[in-house]
Amino acid sequence: MSEIRIQGVWKYFSKGKVAALKDVSLTVQDREFMVLLGPSGCGKTTLLRCIAGLEYPERGRIFIGGRDVTDEPPRKRKIAMVFQSYAVFPHLTVFENIAFGLRMQKRPNAEVKQRVNNAAGMMRIENFLERYPAQLSGGQRQRVAVARGLVMEPQVLLMDEPLSNLDALLRLQARAELKRLLQQVQTTTVYVTHDQIEALSMGDRIAVMENGAIVQVDAPTQVYDYPGSLFVGGFIGTPPMNFLRGTVKSMNGAFALNLGGQPIRAALPANVQAGQDLLMGIRAENIEASAQRSPDAVPARVLVVEPLGSHLLLTVQVGETPIKVQTRMDFNIAPDQTIYLRLEPKQVRWFDPETGVRYDASGSTELK
Ligand code: ATP
């Protein structure tokens, strides 16, 4: 069992002036692939370094495999870490790079050979063992760094932006490859990235961080479909979730959201009151655009048309608010024209405009 349990961890820098982690609690289950996701400076690396024992939290406890490791040095924690600059030694062959930790432990040659071969096999670099890092592609070098960690048979694998040094295409390939390889290895993994696509595509679960705190922990589809806050909805997705502010209006004994004079047909959260302000969240792909006027569709003025190959991305203006809408490539439209938007009712999410928090359940206040 190598579950990681982080309990109420606080970490300060600069003599207490910077709180890099604020009461962070998180459980990563045995063999789970957990992604820490968030913008630059939100505390991802600091949290990873606390798990590794490279930083000591001022408050809180960290358990690995049920053992309290908070006061233990890194070498006692049975972890392996792969960094952004996956520093492989240029003067050592791939074999000796992978063998490095075992040599430090003065393991017998036969054992080193067998374990290096195993780890290289898992990372599919067994044919490159005699090469030097300069003779490998970026993706292969990155696999050497992972193999070097795995060869130590860690309970926990910690990875800090391991793909960020690769160019875009290689990164795409390496992402899928790494995901497949790590699925086979099944080590408890914590993976830091600020790339939301990487997080969505790789993680069993994602812990989203904002300003030193974890604000949502969920499966990728859940984080994408049900962001817990304005911040999460605005950070995840390309383009990010659209947000429209409106006022609740009483109509025929029910409620509607009035968006710049246009009532929106959607289930509002329970217990809303007339006059209350709400933020509506909807993703670009959940809005249907039409050139034909219809009574229940929201008119919008087209600002920008971007053909992206697989679809068109429109920036349109609803009232005063610009939003993104995704349509088919053959949708014939030009800037300054008016189009009519229908929002998929099941895909509408509601947020409190003051706190930014999503309302949990939708109620029975749908406009008849
Ligand atoms: P990035 O994606 O840019 O690497 P991050 O989410 O990993 O960012 P951290 O590196 O964990 O963020 O930093 C969190 C906060 O703590 C930042 O405000 C950073 O400036 C601060 N910080 C991190 N390390 C130190 C340090 N050694 N001394 C002082 N402040 C630090």
pLDDT digits (tens, 9 = 90+) for 56-92: 999 999 999 999 999 999 888 889 888 776 678 899 9
Check residue 100 and give left, alpha or beta (phi > 0: left; psi -120 to 50: alpha): alpha
Distance 44 CA to ligand 1 centre (A): 8
Distance 219 CA to ligand 1 centre (A): 26
Class of domain 4-235: alpha beta
Helix, strand, or coil (residue 192) = strand
Burial of 111 (0-12, 13-18, 19+ CB in 10 A): exposed
Mean of the pLDDT values across residues 23-42?
96
Beta carbon of 40 within 6 Å of any ligand 1 atom: yes
Mean of the pLDDT values across residues 124-139?
90
Q: Cβ of 273: how many Cβ atoms within 10 Å?
A: 8
Beta carbon of 41 within 6 Å of any ligand 1 atom: yes
Written as six digits, the tokens of 160 are 């800090």
Sequence-distant (6+) residues with CB within 8 A of 247 are: 257, 258, 275, 276, 277, 278
Beta carbon of 45 within 6 Å of any ligand 1 atom: yes
Mean of the pLDDT values across residues 315-341?
93
Question: Residues spanned by CATH 2.40.50.140 within the chain?
Answer: 242-351
Question: Residues spanned by CATH 3.40.50.300 within the chain?
Answer: 4-235
More confident residue, 366 or 48: 48
Distance 75 CA to ligand 1 centre (A): 23
Beta carbon of 16 within 6 Å of any ligand 1 atom: no
What's the mean pLDDT when you consider all of the chain? 89
Distance 42 CA to ligand 1 centre (A): 7
> Which CATH superfamily is 242-351 part of?
Nucleic acid-binding proteins (2.40.50.140)
